[in-house]
Amino acid sequence: MNLRTALFTMLAAALLGGGARAQSVDVRGFLKERGATQAHMKVAARSPEPSVVPVMFFDKDGSAPACGLLVAAPHAAGPRFIELTGPDGSEDFPACVAIPSITPFRLQGRRYLMVEYHHRETREDTYAGFRYLYDAPGQGYVSDEALESAGPAQAPTVADPSPSAARTLAGIKRARAAVMKRTFPQWRFQERDFSADNGSSFAAFVDEASHACHVVAEAGAAPVAASAADFVPGVRCAGVLATSRLAAAGATYYLALFESDGGERLVGIVSVSAHGQIGIERALSAAINRARATANINTAKTALSAQLRRTNGATS
């Protein structure tokens, strides 16, 4: 074993953690055992986890490239293969075109990897797909089948295989939305009002039967829910009109604009700190509602920004 291989093996073992002994990912050994030939992708992301390695190859007698992930697991004799896409036998489609991004994020208290891959289904049509892996104790990274099956029936088409921050965010947003829907199936999820970034997300739900509206925030762990009545005691909610997001020093603030049964517009605010702490901002919400800065979501957002400047100025 040369010095470079030895250093890679030690790094992989350290990052897998838990004292479990991990091995480096042997791509050549995998290809040899499969009888495949390595293919070279023009766009191939570098994995942030040494225990997860993307691989693209031609199977024996195959005419189109396939791709997948090789995952090293503690105590395993060899890497585990997770298929992304590839043709059946000598078919031309689907063909793996690129793996533009492999992005780490936290969700449900777990460490995740979002893998974006592109697959050509016809000579003219190429689509983006997303695979979600989480770090399972004693197993290494495994697929989250529930997240993957919760995605849209039609994958987005792509013309350019280059890495895209917008597509990466779309893949993470899709995972966070799926968890929100699965956690609160008793309420109607407001798709248009959902927002997310790499570290957190915010959703609005409506429960028509009880005249209640709910907002939910999560920052990689268990979601935290609040109803319109948590911001305005006793209010009955007719619906959620809009949501928005304000990034401020040390925290992100999510706003929801409600309409009460009586037609009054009211705002509810939830904060997510840089460390992932979620706060139900009753005092901030009450201040904006008292000022009647609720004609629309932008008016409420401007009022919140001014209120934060006054508060920070008073405490500095």
Report if residue 277 sits inside a domain: yes
Report if residue 21 sits inside a domain: yes
**Residue 86, both tokens:** 């590839």
- pLDDT for the residue numbered 207: 92
Report if residue 119 sits inside a domain: yes
- pLDDT for the residue numbered 183: 95
pTM, entire model: 0.86
**Of 173, 202, 223, which residue is a domain's last?**
173
Taking the mean position of all CA atoms in its chain, how far away is CA 210?
31
User: Which of 101, 97, 128, 98 has the alpha carbon at shortest distance from 113?
Assistant: 101
- pLDDT for the residue numbered 19: 34
Report if residue 18 sits inside a domain: yes
Report if residue 54 sits inside a domain: yes
Q: Are residues 156 and 203 in the same domain?
A: no
176-194: buried (b, 16+ CB within 10 Å) or exposed (e) per residue? bbbbbbeebeebebbeebb
Structural domain of 257: 188-315
How many structural domains compose the chain? 2
Q: What amino acid is encoded at 164 in this protein?
A: S
**Residue 271, both tokens:** 């904060």
Q: Output the CA–CA distances (angstroms, integers) from residue 227 to 46, 187, 256, 269, 297, in the order listed.
A: 42, 12, 11, 11, 18
Q: Are residues 159 and 231 in the same domain?
A: no
**Of 173, 196, 222, which residue is a domain's last?**
173
- pLDDT for the residue numbered 315: 52
Report if residue 40 sits inside a domain: yes
Q: Are residues 148 and 22 in the same domain?
A: yes
d(CA 130, CA 50): 20
Q: Are residues 219 and 167 in the same domain?
A: no
Q: What residues contact 71, with CB distance under 8 A and at least 6 apart?
A: 25, 51, 52, 53, 79, 80, 81, 82, 133, 140, 141, 142
d(CA 239, CA 216): 15
- pLDDT for the residue numbered 141: 96
Q: Are residues 221 and 256 in the same domain?
A: yes
Query: What residues of the chain score a pLDDT lower than 50?
Result: 1-22, 316
Q: Are residues 228 and 135 in the same domain?
A: no
Q: Are residues 111 and 247 in the same domain?
A: no
Report if residue 182 sits inside a domain: no
Q: Output the CA–CA distances (angstroms, integers) from residue 149 to 86, 128, 235, in the order listed.
A: 18, 15, 37
- pLDDT for the residue numbered 282: 97
Q: Are residues 111 and 47 in the same domain?
A: yes
Q: Are residues 23 and 149 in the same domain?
A: yes
